[in-house]
Structure 1
Amino acid sequence: MANFNWDDVKIAHQAAKLGSLSKAAEWLGVNYSTVLRRIEQLEKSLECKLFIRHQRGYQLTDAGRQLLTCLPEIEMRFAQFHTNLTALNSEIKGTLKITTLPEYSSFLHPILLTCQQLHPDLRLRVDVSNDIVPLETGSAHMSIRACEAGDMQADLIATKICSLNYSYYAAKSYVERRGLPQSSADFKNHSWVMPSGRKQNISFVKAINQQLDIQHISYQSNHFFDIQSAVEHGIGIGPIDDEKVPANSSLCKVSSIECKNNNHLWCVYHKDLRDDVKIQAVTQLIKAQTNQL
């Protein structure tokens, strides 16, 4: 494969994914002729056609479809290769990428401050998201996750930060208007503020959802801090982390609902990065913070 250029492969893949050379040019910020030239250059290097011109534009050949299928896995392996190489560095410097849930990102703040003081050459980049970032791809080095112990992947090393204890609450203003449910038979007479998306699979959420019709749910959100705000404003009854209820709060716990709390907060990283000095430095700080909790 003489004159093979990896950038040409990525340009061709973008054109295959978008189904149009002009769309690929727009997405890449180059002109159409550049995309066409780079694809023709790649086809010459590979000695096979990736696209066939027809009346409606460009159509993928079998080789082009193979490119569309295989490149994401190749890119993932390159990202993991880069991550493994950086793990060999014995100096605590560079960038460490951490993903965390929105509700628990503040847990990291004192840790990051201490890390900044102890390791001034280490840059920490925190991505806050409800999505589970697959650590094996190298997209992130560490993650703060909430799940049951049995849900943890076998290739991850996990440190338990704390147990998560949720209860159902209602604002005093709501209680004054509607009262509180005395049993599950009374649930249909109340308005509910419930999690959406993946959080609907949490045990204490699923248990209540199974007893509700959709018209009983007045508000849904995929963020627990948003749910807490909605409950505090009297919109309805909803689950809140007991640790996040202020001491002087006007929230009233619903005693007729007993939550099954099986979830814990974890710090996790891939087993292939167990020797990464950056990860070990931050993990030690997280463990110290956990002991204080």
Structure 2
Amino acid sequence: MQHWMELRTALMVARLGTVSAAAEALGVHRATVNRHVETLEGTFGAPLFHRHARGYALTDAGRDMLEVAGRADEMFADLEGRSRGKAGQLSGSLIVTALAGVAPILMPAIRDFQLAHPRIAMEFVAGAQLARLEYGEAHVAFRAGKKPDVPDYVVTLFRSVRFGLYASLDYIERAGFPEPDKLDRHRFVGSVGAARPLPYSDWMTANVPPEALALQTTDQQVQHSAVCEGLGLGFLPEHNARTRPDLVEVIAPGEAWSVALWVVTHVDLHRTTKVLAFLEHVRAQGTGG
């Protein structure tokens, strides 16, 4: 492929953000990186990067380049992986992104996949933003809520995440067991600032006055910690609450308080060997609710 070396260099600059970091990763001199970028910009007739003191940022042309070069790089890596895979040796990197709160659901699949393919370097990127799969930011994304409708994304249902209302033993010892018909006597931990309504938002609005809120938070992990520390009653994912013997179920999880968890891949990478292998392990773990 013409200019493949230059494309790989520009791809590394785009991913790492600086010429020096790209040069170190590729094992070449900074001048070589600059020359490769300038060659591509001359070929395309447009700048690929905005140069600034903190590094390089992509232009519109650069984002187009990154999308194409990233997929091409992944295809070459898959070709190498297929060759090794014939001997049972899948290799390379696999980047998975999801909310930190769903990690307990995903770790069994990640563990089984890594044990089956130890030459694969796994990376788990925790965050709320849906990674730009077309730019190679991740191979597989897990997202909760409404089904993502981004063009060229392959989206399938993984499982549902159910929420229940819980209290800590410490809270119960201090305030008594929260009877479902007498919850107005108790304190709560709530959510605030969510990008979209949470499955229990309507219940909280109807049943918990503002003065009953001991704490509100924008983060589910903080909410989990607050409930465990006895600040008040709070809604937690069932899979997280099960791991804490000091939590007591006040109202059982149900479908009304559930949210769909989707597995997302890019159409060009969906059928690469390592992604397919990982998805097999994901499907084996995706039967729970």
Q: Normalization by structure 1: what TM-score?
A: 0.64
The amino acid of 1:83's aligned partner reads E
Using the alignment, how far apart are the partners of 1:106 and 1:171 within structure 2? 20
Cα distance, 1:264 vs structure 2: 2.3
Q: 1:209 to 1:272 in 2, by over 3 A?
A: farther
Counterparts of 2:107 and 2:288, CA distance in 1 = 14
Which segments of structure 1 move beyond 6 Å, counting only runs of 4 or more?
A: 24-28, 256-259
Cα distance change on mapping 1:102 and 1:281 into 2, 3 Å: same
**In structure 2, what is the equivalent of residue 96 of structure 1?**
94
- Where does residue 31 of structure 1 map in the other structure? none
Alignment of 1:217-228 (within 5 A): 217-228=213-224
Q: 1:102 deviation in Å? A: 0.9
- Aligned to 1:231, the other structure's residue is in SS state helix
Query: Relative to structure 2, which stretch is displaced further, 216-225 or 235-244?
Result: 216-225
CA contact (8 A) 1:183 1:256 kept: no
Alpha-carbon distance between aligned partners in 2 of 1:211 and 1:292, rounded to the nearest angstrom: 29
Structure 1 distance, partners of 2:253, 2:239, is 18
The answer on 1:270 being equivalent to 2:259 is no
Please give the per-residue CA displacement for 1:37-72, whole angstroms capped at 9, x wherever unaligned.
Answer: x8xx97x969x9x9xxxxxxx9xxxxxxxx855544
Q: 1:79 aligns with which of 58, 70, 81?
A: 70
1:106 is paired with a residue whose SS is helix
CA shift for structure 1 position 278: 0.4
1:164 deviates by 1.3
2:279 alignment counterpart: 283
Gaps of 5+ in 1: 14-23, 29-33, 51-57, 59-66
The alpha carbon displacement at 1:282 in A equals 0.9
* Matching residue's letter, 1:263: V
Unpaired runs of 5+ in structure 2? 1-5, 23-29, 53-57, 84-89
The answer for the alignment partner of 2:128 in structure 1 is 130
User: Which structure 2 residues correspond to residues 211-222 of structure 1 after superposition, within 5 A?
Assistant: 216-222=212-218
Cα offset for 1:252?
Answer: 4.1
Give the CA deviation at 1:115. Answer: 2.6
Q: Which residue of 1 aligns with 2:228?
A: 232
Cα RMSD of the aligned pairs, angstroms, is 4.7
Task: Name the aligned partner's letter for residue 268 of structure 1.
Answer: V
Aligned match of 2:140: 142
Report % sequence identity. 19
Structure 2 CA distance for partners of 1:169 and 1:291, relative to 1, 3 Å: closer
Q: Distance in 2 between matches of 1:194 and 1:271?
A: 38
1:232-278 CA deviation, whole Å, 9 max, x = no partner? 21112211122333488453444499772341233321222222000
SS of the aligned residue for 1:99 comes to: strand
Counterparts in 2 of 1:221 and 1:81: CA distance versus 1, 3 Å: farther
Q: Secondary structure at the match of 1:286?
A: helix
Whose Rg is larger? 1
TM-score computed with the length of structure 2 as normaliser = 0.64
Q: What's the counterpart of residue 3 of structure 2? A: none
For residues 190-247 of structure 1, what are the alpha-carbon distances to aligned partners after superposition, in whole Å with 9 as ceiling and x for unaligned? 5332234446522323552477666654323444343222112111221112233348
Match of 1:174? 171
Whole-Å separation in 2 of the counterparts to 1:104 and 1:84:
29
Matches within 5 A, 1:1-293: 68=59, 70-89=61-80, 90-91=82-83, 92-148=90-146, 150-153=147-150, 155-175=152-172, 176-177=174-175, 180=178, 190-198=186-194, 201-205=197-201, 207-209=203-205, 216-246=212-242, 249-255=245-251, 260-291=256-287
